[in-house]
């Protein structure tokens, strides 16, 4: 029981107790020794006092060093292990306060390593999902168009006479393929965001997705929107892109609204629609991707059912990335 209480006693109290003991022993030694000090101390008496002070200082230093030395060793081991790749856990063995600190550091390192593995796996899954989506779009759009061009070109190669209308059909299909490639390229790298800013990029995005469909798109972007970091702008655009693409493809909505406005030190993006709503427990790759992107700049994403039917996606992100 005594050793357990000592192990859990704060270090500063242990140092104070050690110092008091050293000074008490030194005082007792001077009090009960034959040495005396005159009203006007003699040189020999000053020497005795200095020797006593030196002995107490050395004794205090040795004892305090024995208390603090495990922490110096811990810091040295930590510096060595953190410079290694991968990070290694610190060796445990001390039952005192240094041992408890070592255990806490090992627990923290373990959590960091688990978070890194989880983040790496999530990022890989997101990349693979994005690649699969792009591959599917290229296959369904550009791939089919190019196949049609090849079939038409093969038919014309065997025809005795080529009509201008036949060439026009090939030209139209090739133009559609080029438009599809440009659309995929814009999704991969939103140049309009770099050239014209977030407001114009959101306008172009909603126009592209809903101009020829049956969904009416409304935009409400605050004129008081502050200047945003490039990373924040990209996150806002990507989350809006994912949310609006989900509405265009899956919601079956008659209307969708995009709102972007400041709120304190944050900006809030809201994408709401009146479609069929989010399925219970639905947390697909797209939603995970939005949350991961928001987390990169200290933001959060909430996806909820909308009153009266539909879905509301809310992104809250700080103006300056944390």
How far is residue 263 from each of residues 207, 225, 240, 251, 302, measured CA to CA in Å?
Answer: 26, 10, 18, 28, 16
DSSP secondary-structure letter at 224?
A: T
pLDDT band at 4 (very low <50, low <70, confident <90, very high): very low
CB 7 within 8 A of CB 15: no
Nearest-angstrom CA–CA distance, 236 and 50: 71
Could you give the percent of the chain with pLDDT greater than 90?
4
Nearest-angstrom CA–CA distance, 210 and 257: 11
CB 272 within 8 A of CB 255: no
- pLDDT on residue 188: 63
Question: CA torsion sign, 207 to 212 to 215 to 216?
Answer: positive
pLDDT exceeds cutoff 50 at 282:
yes
pLDDT in tens, 206-219: 888 888 778 888 88
Domain architecture of the chain: domains with CATH: 2-83 (no CATH), 198-322 (3.30.565.10)
Q: 86 preceded by cis ω (within 30°)?
A: yes
On whether the pTM is more than 0.95, the answer is no
The candidate with the shortest Cα–Cα distance to 116, out of 85, 90, 79, 83, is 85
The candidate with the shortest Cα–Cα distance to 221, out of 232, 236, 238, is 236
Tokens coding 77: 């081991």
- pLDDT on residue 174: 83
Average pLDDT over residues 175-194: 72
pLDDT in tens, 62-108: 777 777 777 766 776 666 666 555 666 666 666 666 677 777 777 87
Q: Strands across the sheet with 300-305, in order?
A: 216-221, 255-263, 266-273, 311-318, 300-305
Three-class DSSP category at 267: strand
Three-class DSSP category at 64: helix
* CB count in 10 Å sphere of residue 303: 19
Tokens coding 118: 């989880």
Average pLDDT over residues 184-213: 77
The candidate with the shortest Cα–Cα distance to 234, out of 286, 270, 187, is 187
Tokens coding 255: 């209307």
Characterise 304 by phi-psi region: left (phi > 0), alpha (psi -120 to 50), beta (else): beta
* CB count in 10 Å sphere of residue 218: 12
Nearest-angstrom CA–CA distance, 124 and 206: 29
- pLDDT on residue 2: 40
pLDDT in tens, 307-322: 777 889 999 998 876 5
Could you give the percent of the chain with pLDDT greater than 70?
71
**Mean pLDDT value across the chain:** 76
Residue with tokens 């399925």: 279
How far is residue 144 from each of residues 23, 45, 167, 227, measured CA to CA in Å?
Answer: 91, 105, 18, 43
């Amino acid at each position: 029981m005594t050793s357990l209480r000592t192990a859990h006693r704060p270090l500063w109290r242990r140092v104070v107790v050690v110092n008091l003991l050293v000074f008490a022993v030194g005082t007792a030694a001077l009090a009960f020794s034959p040495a005396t000090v005159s009203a006007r101390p003699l040189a020999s008496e000053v020497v005795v006092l200095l020797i006593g002070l030196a002995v107490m200082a050395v004794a205090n230093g040795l004892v305090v060093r024995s208390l603090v030395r495990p922490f110096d060793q811990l810091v040295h081991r930590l510096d060595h292990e953190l410079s290694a790749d991968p990070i290694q856990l610190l060796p445990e063995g001390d039952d005192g306060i240094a041992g408890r600190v070592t255990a806490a550091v090992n627990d923290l390192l373990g959590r960091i390593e688990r978070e890194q593995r989880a983040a790496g796996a999530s990022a890989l899954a997101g990349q693979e999902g994005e690649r699969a989506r792009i591959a599917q779009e290229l296959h369904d759009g550009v791939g089919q168009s190019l196949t049609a061009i090849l079939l038409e070109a093969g038919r014309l190669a065997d025809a005795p006479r080529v009509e201008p209308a036949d060439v026009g059909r090939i030209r139209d299909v090739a133009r559609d393929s080029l438009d599809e490639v440009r659309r995929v390229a814009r999704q991969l790298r939103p140049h309009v965001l770099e050239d014209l800013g977030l407001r114009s990029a959101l306008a172009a995005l909603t126009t592209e997705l809903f101009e020829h469909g049956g969904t009416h798109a409304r935009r409400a972007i605050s004129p008081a929107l502050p200047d945003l970091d490039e990373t924040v702008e990209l996150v806002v655009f990507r989350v809006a892109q994912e949310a609006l693409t989900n509405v265009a493809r899956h919601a079956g909505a008659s209307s969708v609204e995009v709102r972007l406005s400041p709120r304190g030190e944050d900006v809030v993006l809201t994408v709401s629609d009146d479609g069929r709503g989010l399925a219970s427990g639905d947390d697909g790759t797209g939603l995970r991707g939005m949350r991961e992107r928001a987390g990169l700049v200290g933001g959060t994403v909430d996806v909820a059912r909308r009153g009266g039917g539909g879905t509301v996606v809310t992104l809250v992100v700080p103006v300056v990335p944390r």
